Copies of this chain bind each other. A is one copy, B any other.
Amino acid sequence: MGISGKWFLETVFPDLAIMLQVREVLHSGQTAYQHVDVLESRVFGRSLVLDGKTQSTERDEHLYHEALVHPAMLMHSNPRTVFIGGGGEGGTLREVLAHRSVERVVMLDLDQEVVELCRRFLPHHHQGSFDDPRVELLFQDARQYLEESRESFDVLIMDLVDPLEGGTAYRLYTEEFYRIVKSRMGAGGIMVTQSGPAGLLSFDECFTTIYKTLASIFPSTVPSQVHVPAFATLWGIILASESKLPTLTDEQVDGLVAERINKELRFYDGESHRNMFAMPRYVRQGIQQESRINRDATPVFMI
């Protein structure tokens, strides 16, 4: 391909951007909450872009979704009820439903139109998950729902857009929100949240603050990371619980995967788990040096 044609540019920093040549723009428009593009490219297949930021792509979404879902699910002894905040593409839902123990999933996405676009344009993401009878899919604010709910969950997964100023999600990364989450956890419950970029250039955008905020509330908080090509960096994922989160060996992970997951995984296994939970030194130092706590009144926004 030459340079002529449609490109999607996404800034990583003000002076650094990714240029992706787009074969087709399958959808482009504004919903009640955000701007949505569904793009198709040779290298990534179909991509979902919300407010100009790539959320996931057909080519590499399994890295992110497996890394987000499976460690939290396997660290729980018997996850039967799962809450998913966000996750409109259905990839998180798909991975959750692969766990044999799961009996009920409540998934909330604020934006019904995004979910409908994903159902239509991203079949390789959701693979029919939305039709699973264990799923209750609601279109409302995750925070308000949890606040008003009396139900408790074994695992709560926050698969949200980044905490951007003026965005839909920054109130789902604050101390106040995490207290609500905590109140809705069952015994031995675990929450996990996507936590923004964790590479050398960007771990202090929001990752370290989210860690500190979670650690101020939960006795056990564990960071992890996974390399996602579409994000052009390491991506941060943080788990938190009132119970001590276990340290799993390669063999334990492989055993649990075989026992509890009813399909072949593409990324996650014992050694990938070991990679995810061995954090590069700069991130550990960044966590030590971070002093900000994310609160409703003084939120930390990503650049």
Contact = CB atoms under 8 A, between A and B. Distances in A.
Contacts of A7: 6-9
Oligomer copy total: 4
A41 interface: yes
Chain A, interface size category, equals 35 or more
Interface stretch (A175-183, A184-192, A237-245, A277-285): A277-285
- Determine the main DSSP class of A at the interface with B: mixed
Contact of A272 (B28, B60, B281): B281
Contact of A281 (B10, B20, B266): B266
Contacts of A5: 8-9, 52
15 contacts: A3-B3, A3-B9, A4-B9, A5-B52, A7-B8, A15-B41, A16-B18, A18-B19, A25-B25, A199-B227, A227-B233, A227-B280, A265-B281, A271-B281, A272-B278
Interface in A240-281: 265-269, 271-272, 274-275, 278-281
Q: Max chain B CB contacts within 10 Å: which of A2, A10, A20, A279?
A: A2
